[in-house]
Structure 1
Amino acid sequence: MDLSDLPEIVPGALYPIAPEGLADASDDGHAPRILLLYGSLREVSYSRKAVEESARILQALGCETRIFDPSGLPLTDDADADHPKVAELRELAVWSEGMVWSSPERHGAMTGIMKLQIDWLPLSLKGGIRTTQGKTLAVMQVSGGSQSFNAVNQMRILGRWMRMVTIPNQSSIPKAWLEFAEGDRLPDGPFYRRIVDVMEELVKFTYMVRGRKDYLVDRYSERVENVDQVHERVSVKA
């Protein structure tokens, strides 16, 4: 998979996004780490092609990207968390500072493959490691027919449930089989430019959020629970 080239663009219109003015003062300015998930195992997968196009754009914007291949991922509750594919997915989620979720719309909803990946991501792991909380998210969908937003709307709900900062912009590509008719690439046009818009916004939000993530997800209810647990331990020792 070649992620090195981009469609011909207007010179100066696409450029790396700098953290200055966006990131926290303590941010070291490293390349944003973005994990991309797609929701189809078909040999010709348009949600995967949309993710690959997004990864090219993200790299041009100065990001480091990883694409997870969901093939072989077991059903939830049908395997342990130490299953190799589950472990790989969770390690990538921990590594990431932002995510892109790209799903086909099937029967008016996101696919089971897309939901399966999200279901394997816990809100937190041992040691207080949060796989999704406070991280950024962009949602995208592809359709075989007319334009729809059912899948992205569902993924927005999941993003909120996973306590992610889901950016306002999104992408929906209708009749994806026509848009990708020439092969694996999405040609320049309104749908390609929308994906660029979405990825630019994701990078900006990631810079703004990543250094402030712990503060943004700090919650009163959890602080109360921590105080109660300390009191219980002190009472037991006494």
Structure 2
Amino acid sequence: MECHRRILMSVSFTNCYSVFLNRKCSRRRQCCSSKSKYYCCNWKDYQPDDWIARLHWKEVTNNNKNNHYEESRQEPVISPRILILYGSLRQGSLSKALAYEAARILYKLGADVRIYHPQSLPVQDPQYETHPKVQEFIQLYNWSQGQLWCSPVHHGSMSSVLKNQLDWYTFPPSGRTVAFCQVQGGQLSGAAVHHMFTIALSLNMIIAPCYLIVPETFREFSSEGRMKAGPYREKLVQVMEALYKLTCITNQQSPFFMESQLEYLT
């Protein structure tokens, strides 16, 4: 219940409340049919008591309703476009399982979510720029407004699988939002998150104010690849909520964040 209470909170950003309350089911069905290649939730496959299915945004009550909310609810709905990258090729990868769990949450919140699968992506080299997996990655990169990076810890850093994906960025993703998730088999360490943070800073990305580190990740997932109840699952909800809200805000002012607004007077 504590997990649910965290998500039941009122927000006060201009233009965000309409995104929270006015999502259309028909739009989601179209999303499922056209983007299933990358991943899209189909809630008919889940039981009504699924923990993610029970998440919802708090309705405006008479106690906290005001003109600001009423005006924002009338504006068009624009679902933030979020690309998820994970850093493992191993079958049964827990970083991939966490990426899918994050995608389920973001989709439930109202985002347009796609997961890029890095299998067969060549090592970064200009001679491979026309490779189909490279072109697919660049298209998703250009499509995205926000991103989630999820990596295991390899030799005290992020995995080379995720780093290779980031190396294929043809130009810095300035103005895009990003959040981080780290999985590891051992005790708590922030090595991968630290290096992802450094890379995001160098790319001029807008970093979410919280991140997730899951130590001994094998203990936190069921055999079906679903995250067990506990503090790390609650933290994942918190991080996805922050990424969703931040992307909604920056999306409303996309040119301002993604293009330089300063010049010298002549």
Distance 1:16 1:160, change over 3 A: farther
The offset of 1:86, in angstroms, is 0.7
- Give, in whole Å, the separation in 2 of the partners of 1:196 and 1:182: 21
What are the Cα deviations for residues 99-147 of structure 1, in whole angstroms up to 9, with x where unaligned? Answer: 00000001110000010000001226xxxxxxx2101101110011011
Is 1:175 the counterpart of 2:223? The answer is no
The offset of 1:162, in angstroms, is 1.4
Instruction: Tell me the TM-score normalised to structure 1 length.
Output: 0.80
Is 1:102 the counterpart of 2:176? The answer is no
Show the 5 A alignment for 1:98-177. Answer: 98-123=146-171, 132-177=173-218
SS of the residue corresponding to residue 128 of structure 2 reads coil
Distance 1:174 1:115, change over 3 A: same
CA RMSD of aligned residues (A): 2.9
Is 1:207 the counterpart of 2:255? The answer is no
8 Å CA contact 1:32, 1:206 repeated in 2 = yes
Distance 1:217 1:75, change over 3 A: same
Opposite residue 91 of structure 1, the aligned amino acid is Q
- Give, in whole Å, the separation in 1 of the partners of 2:188 and 2:98: 15
The offset of 1:16, in angstroms, is 8.6
Q: What stretches of structure 1 of length at least 5 have no aligned partner? A: 125-131, 229-238
Is 1:87 the counterpart of 2:135? The answer is yes
8 Å CA contact 1:34, 1:100 repeated in 2 = yes
Q: What stretches of structure 2 of length at least 5 have no aligned partner? A: 1-38, 61-67
- Give, in whole Å, the separation in 2 of the partners of 1:16 and 1:90: 36
Distance 1:52 1:11, change over 3 A: closer
The offset of 1:17, in angstroms, is 10
8 Å CA contact 2:40, 2:113 repeated in 1 = no
Aligned residue in 2 for 1:60: 108
8 Å CA contact 1:169, 1:201 repeated in 2 = yes
The offset of 1:80, in angstroms, is 2.7
Structure with bigger RCO (C-alpha 8 Å, 6+ apart): 1
Aligned residue in 1 for 2:257: 216
Opposite residue 63 of structure 1, the aligned amino acid is A
SS of the residue corresponding to residue 180 of structure 1 reads coil
Instruction: Tell me the TM-score normalised to structure 2 length.
Output: 0.72
